């Protein structure tokens, strides 16, 4: 069985055998990215198998709620958004996987927004050597030109108010102080702890330049817009969000924004026990970094 696939800018075949798609699924399910995410594994396997078996019409929100998330027969998707929430998480996980572990995998699996039917992109590694060399040369030249232009535009945008910025501003990121959604009392330090963990973990990614917490903390109370803050700090990427605390549970909402366009490139909401706070936010920082790096790579292709 062959599947018709979307074209891949990195080289795509018109079709791919179903066994190659199934082999790719096994790679993803065994990856560190989905480690510990049993629900997402079931979700991904079911939507792929249904598609391969020619049953995409069964991939409806109600059906997925029953089959993947064990909702009762009277489950109402309008009241319980579990499928939509987990679909967003799965899309984010796939982006993270292909930005890291799966960067060179032969098949790319995506779940487009607004639907639950996956699409499969095949990377074509069998092109003639000369054609490959020529294509790579053209892509390199085009990518280099776009990259230079992107840096020039980013620096010009960041310096339009006369603010001096570093040459690597296009990959610079700042974690702004997080808001408290609930009465902080003696829990206000939790928001600071989360911001500190995010800053530290993001700094471990050598492809990003992370602004110090001391500098970013200056914008705890400000009426400036996010693009204005980014220009003043000399960064392109900004992390913002908020924290709520109830008993020993912590609710965290985070988003990473491209200040050039004021567009979110990554966002997530999660709650955890206080004892899990550092580990959960460290994983969030890894996913956030993967999404930003993927955006950087896309802008340089």
Poorest-pLDDT segment among 108-112, 186-190, 269-273? 186-190
Residue 152's pLDDT is 56
Tokens standing for residue 227: 């693009």
- Given a cut of 70, whether residue 140 has pLDDT beyond it is no
Query: What pLDDT does 198 receive?
Result: 94
Q: What is the mean pLDDT of residues 68-78?
A: 89
Higher pLDDT, 6 or 29: 29
Q: What is the pLDDT of residues 257-267, one digit of tens each?
A: 999 888 899 99
Residue 44, pLDDT > 90, answer yes
Q: Which residues, 6 or more positions from 27, have their beta carbon under 8 angstroms from its beta carbon?
A: 102, 105
Q: Supply the pLDDT for residue 142.
A: 56
Kindly tell me if the per-residue pLDDT of 155 is higher than 80.
Answer: no
Q: Where are the domains of the chain?
A: 2-122, 161-299
pLDDT tens, residue by residue, 225-259: 888 899 888 999 999 999 988 888 888 999 999 99
Which CATH architecture describes the domain 161-299? 3-Layer(aba) Sandwich (3.40)
Question: Do residues 299 and 149 make contact, with C-beta atoms less than 8 angstroms apart?
Answer: no
Would you place residue 120 in the very low, low, confident or very high pLDDT band (cuts 50, 70, 90)? confident
Angle, helices 82-99 vs 38-52, to 10°: value is 90
Residue 300's pLDDT is: 57
Contact, 84 vs 68, CB < 8 A? no
pLDDT on residue 167: 56
Cut 0.85: pTM above it: no
Question: What average pLDDT does this structure show over 15-22?
Answer: 80
Task: Please write the tens of the pLDDT for every residue from 178-214.
Answer: 988 876 566 778 888 999 999 999 999 888 999 988 8
CA distance 24 to 102: 9
Does the pLDDT of residue 8 top 60, yes or no? no
- Chain mean pLDDT for the chain: 80
Concatenate the DSSP letters of all residues of 131-178 into one string. HHHHHHHHHHHHHHHHHHHHHHHHHHHHTTTS----TTGGGEEEEPPP
pLDDT for position 194: 92
Task: State both tokens at 214.
Answer: 């001391």
């Amino acid at each position: 069985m062959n599947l018709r696939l979307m074209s891949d800018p990195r080289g795509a075949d018109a079709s791919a055998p179903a066994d190659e798609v199934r082999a790719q699924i096994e790679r993803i399910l065994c990856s560190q990215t989905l480690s510990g995410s049993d629900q997402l594994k079931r979700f991904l396997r079911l939507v792929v198998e249904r598609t391969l078996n020619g049953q995409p019409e069964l991939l409806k929100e109600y059906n997925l709620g029953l089959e993947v998330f064990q909702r009762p027969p009277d489950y109402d998707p309008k009241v319980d958004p579990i499928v939509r929430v987990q679909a967003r998480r799965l899309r984010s996980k796939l982006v993270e996987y292909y930005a890291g572990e799966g960067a060179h995998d032969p098949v790319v699996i995506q779940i487009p927004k607004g639907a639950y039917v996956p699409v499969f992109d095949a990377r074509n590694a069998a092109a003639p050597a000369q054609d490959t060399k020529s294509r790579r040369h053209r892509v390199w030249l085009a990518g280099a030109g776009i990259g230079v232009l992107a840096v020039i535009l980013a620096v010009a945008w960041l310096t339009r108010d006369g603010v001096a910025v570093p040459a690597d501003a296009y990959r610079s990121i700042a974690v702004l102080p997080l808001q408290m959604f609930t009465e902080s009392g003696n829990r206000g330090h939790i928001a600071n702890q989360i911001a500190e963990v995010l800053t530290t973990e993001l700094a471990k990614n050598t492809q990003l330049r992370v602004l110090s917490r001391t500098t970013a903390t200056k914008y705890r109370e400000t009426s400036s817009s996010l693009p204005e803050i980014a220009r003043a700090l000399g960064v392109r990427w900004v992390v913002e969000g908020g924290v709520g605390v109830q008993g020993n549970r912590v609710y965290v909402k985070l988003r990473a924004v491209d200040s050039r366009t004021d567009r979110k490139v990554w966002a997530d909401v999660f709650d955890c026990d206080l004892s899990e706070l550092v580990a959960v936010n460290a994983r969030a920082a890894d996913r956030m970094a993967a999404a930003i790096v993927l955006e950087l790579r896309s802008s340089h292709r």
